[in-house]
Amino acid sequence: MAFGSNIKKSLPLAGKWTDITLRNYGPNQVPEPTLKHDTKEIWEKQVIFPYSLNNTVYAYGGPKPDDNNRNLDVMSIFPVYKPCEPRVFMDEPYNFSYLKSPNKVFRSAPSLNDQYLAWLDRVQRDWAGLWQSYGIYELIQLSRTGLKYQQEMIIAALHFFETSTNTFHFECGMMTPTLFDVAAIIGLPPTGATYDPFKATNNIEFTIRDKTYSKYITENQQDSEEVSDEEHVAFLSLWLSQY
């Protein structure tokens, strides 16, 4: 919901209605913007649609999809489990406190750690060639920068996420990330040999006594000039579990 004259001055109203003119619509429903020739391009580009209801200006999210791109065959078959319906259909106030510093959008998201970066430099010196041969070198390098995300885009995407099917509900249909999307992001092939632990030739074991990441690094990072197999496996275990 948005109030104020700034929105009204910058964009034309998508509609102006009263409770009487909307008596045939359901609760919290208003008509779509009228696609006149002079406003069609506006509604297909703007992320906010201001409209007036009972002389009060509100706004809802855009942009409006091009009608030529709508898939009418799937618009009527979206499965929505009522307790899991996307937030775009909900009315209760939003709680954005988790966005305030020092909170993180994803609580389990790793943070940059100088101790980890120093260990990464040490292990990479001896094992970079092996990482490259297995195609994980670039993926390990991503752990140097930490996660980069736009909070605004995450909030917008969550409006259309349906948790019972783990899919986004858009007018073009249901969408969700695929293995090919993941492969494009992390740079790893989606197919390959299946790992079989029973066929492993070497049995490398290491003991975990402390559960925090920093104590784990202190426990397993060695002082010797050469990085042993055990230290290498310990590092990869940390990288896989944290990043």
Enumerate the domain spans of the chain: 5-64, 71-106+147-192, 110-146+193-243
Per the structure block, which two tokens stand in for 133?
């041969």
Most confidently modeled range among 92-106, 172-186, 190-204: 172-186
User: Which of 41, 48, 62 lies closest to 11, judged by CA?
Assistant: 48
Neighbouring residues of 230: CB distance < 8 A, sequence distance ≥ 6:
204, 205, 206, 220
The predicted-structure confidence for 105-123, as pLDDT tens digits, reads as follows 666 677 778 999 999 999 9
∠ CA 191-176-241, nearest 5°, is 60
DSSP 70-113: --TTTTT-----GGG--GGG--SPP--GGGSTT--SSTT-----
Higher-confidence residue of 202 and 74: namely 202
First to last CA, the chain: 37
pLDDT of residue 4: 40
Most confidently modeled range among 1-15, 33-47, 81-95, 130-144: 130-144
Mean pLDDT computed over 94-101:
69
Give yes or no for residue 223 having a pLDDT over 70.
yes
* Mean confidence (pLDDT) of the chain: 76
Res. 208 pLDDT band, cuts 50 70 90: low
pLDDT of residue 234: 93
Listed range (92-101, 125-134, 180-189) with the worst mean pLDDT: 92-101
With a pLDDT cut of 70, the percent of the chain lying above it is 69
Q: Taking the mean position of all CA atoms in its chain, how far away is CA 190?
A: 20
In a 3-state reduction of DSSP, which class is residue 80?
A: coil
pLDDT of residue 166: 81
List, in sequence order, every residue forming a beta bridge with 65; answer none if it has no partner.
none
pLDDT of residue 68: 63
∠ CA 151-173-12, nearest 5°, is 60
Contact of 191 with 180, CB cutoff 8 Å: no
Q: How far apart are CA 77 and CA 12, in angstroms?
A: 33
Mean pLDDT computed over 206-228:
83
